[in-house]
Amino acid sequence: MAADPGKLEAFVGKMAGDMGAAMSASLVQLGDRLGLYKTMAEAGPSTSSTLAARAGVNERNLREWLSAQAASGYVDYDPATSKFSLNDEQAMVFADEGGPAFMAGGFGLIAAMFIDEPNVAEAFKTGRGLGWHEHSQCLFRGTERFFRPGYNANLVSAWIPALDGVEARLNEGISVADIGCGHGASTVLMAKAYPNSRFVGFDYHAPSLERAREVARDEGVADRVRFETASAKDFPGEGYGLVTIFDALHDMGDPVGAATHIRERLAPDGTFMLVEPNAQDDLSGNLNPVGRMFYSASTMVCTPASMNQEVALALGAQAGEARLKAVADEAGFTHFRRAAETPFNMVLELRP
């Protein structure tokens, strides 16, 4: 052992920060579950007693939570008045559920990564993977809430307009299939924006579709969107003007089989819109905070999910454009273009 003391101190410091972040993840989940952030956003600067009364929770428990939140920089604390508050940015991230910067909901996904870790460990040994459907309940809602803010912020305003001619056709009225739709966040968003079109969301995980139907009813679009249990390789219907996959192709065991089936089900002038996590083609290009999140989720969820299905290609969440183009080529698509991107997602346009 010839560790450099200065480098060791710096690395231990980084790890102290990382351990604090990992521990505080459960507190974000707790705050979200009990509505504490929303209570704070409504109340403005308040003492722990005032907040406890408003939230209907025990003051001593809440004071400890608030202290941890202040130490995390997730809430502000004024020592002169002993009041806690959310500034505008903190409120957007923790309390604004429909907004573009909301992140608290995604902690349900993180919770599933911890709860299901023993099963992932077993999958490492057997190599048989762990199916999406075999995870804890909190993964499904956590994933819906993790991805929805990005779709809210970009799907209708930027991603669809970036596709060649698709927005006009959606406004005229076409049939659209959203594959691996999960809780239907993307399907319902599109159905709201393009009332002349008809939408069907397919997913192999039937319980997720029950929630999707609920979302469609709540959002008043149940007349133009339906949800059916089907895998990406055998969903019914044909002549679709648009087929979409949002953050799900890499979870599938046979992405080439799925893309081939999609090509066969598209109208001749139809478009396949493939949304995948944004990534460079090589590992070194992904060694950054976004790559860290996606490789982590991919280790615990996406890669085992793919390995649990036929073919078990296991693209991983950071597959990168070159590998996705190889899948598209093998599936017989002749047109492939990166139409849009955000730090989290790339939007690919494919045509038969």
User: Where along the sequence are the contacts to ligand SAM (CB under 6 A)?
Assistant: 132, 143-144, 147, 180-182, 185-186, 203-205, 208, 231-232, 246-248, 251-252, 309
Both structure tokens of 227:
């949800």
On whether the CB atoms of residues 247 and 304 are closer than 8 A, the answer is no
CB-nearer residue toward ligand SAM: 51 or 232: 232
On whether the CB atoms of residues 141 and 182 are closer than 8 A, the answer is no
CB-nearer residue toward ligand SAM: 90 or 154: 154
Both structure tokens of 53:
């009364």
On whether the CB atoms of residues 129 and 305 are closer than 8 A, the answer is yes
Minimal CB distance to ligand SAM: which residue?
182
Q: How far is the CB of 284 from ligand SAM (least distance, A)?
A: 25
CB-nearer residue toward ligand SAM: 29 or 231: 231
| CA separation for the pair 187, 131 (Å, rounded) | 23
Q: How far is the CB of 289 from ligand SAM (least distance, A)?
A: 19
Q: How far is the CB of 47 from ligand SAM (least distance, A)?
A: 39
CB-nearer residue toward ligand SAM: 180 or 291: 180
Q: How far is the CB of 213 from ligand SAM (least distance, A)?
A: 14
Burial (CB count <10 Å: 0-12, 13-18, 19+), residue 232: buried
Q: How far is the CB of 214 from ligand SAM (least distance, A)?
A: 14
Q: What are residue 76's phi and psi, to 5 degrees?
A: -95, 150
CB-nearer residue toward ligand SAM: 40 or 258: 258
- Choose among 64, 91, 75, 68: nearest CA to 21: 68
What amino acid is encoded at 110 in this protein? I
Sheet holding 266-277, edge to edge: 225-229, 198-203, 175-179, 240-246, 266-277, 345-351, 335-341
Q: How far is the CB of 208 from ligand SAM (least distance, A)?
A: 5
CB-nearer residue toward ligand SAM: 74 or 204: 204
| CA separation for the pair 43, 39 (Å, rounded) | 6
Q: How far is the CB of 144 from ligand SAM (least distance, A)?
A: 5
CB-nearer residue toward ligand SAM: 93 or 109: 109
